[in-house]
Amino acid sequence: MDPEAARTARESLDLAFHMSNVLDAGLDRHTLSVLIALCDLGLNPEALAAVVKELRREPSSSSPKLETLSSVP
């Protein structure tokens, strides 16, 4: 990735993270960057939001603990 593209990507993530904080979404930068990458790959953002909500609601004892996701309603 060229330096200009990297700077633009970083600024975009910073803006999305700021918006996430204003909305009190409870997403850390890493989780947010993964969700953005999944959207860039064509996944439906509304479906991703539903998955995040479900994972926060019912963490499975057999799967790794999702601390980032479990802190937001």
| pLDDT tens figures, 56-73 | 887 565 555 555 555 554
pLDDT value of residue 66: 52
Q: Does position 35 have pLDDT exceeding 70, yes or no? A: yes
Q: Is the pLDDT of residue 13 over 60?
A: yes
Buried b (16+ CB within 10 A) or exposed e, 29-66: eebbbebbeeeeeeeeeeeeeeebeeebeeeeeeeeee
Nearest of 23, 20, 21 to residue 36 by alpha carbon: 20
> Quick one: pLDDT at residue 68?
53
Please state the rounded mean pLDDT for residues 11-38: 95
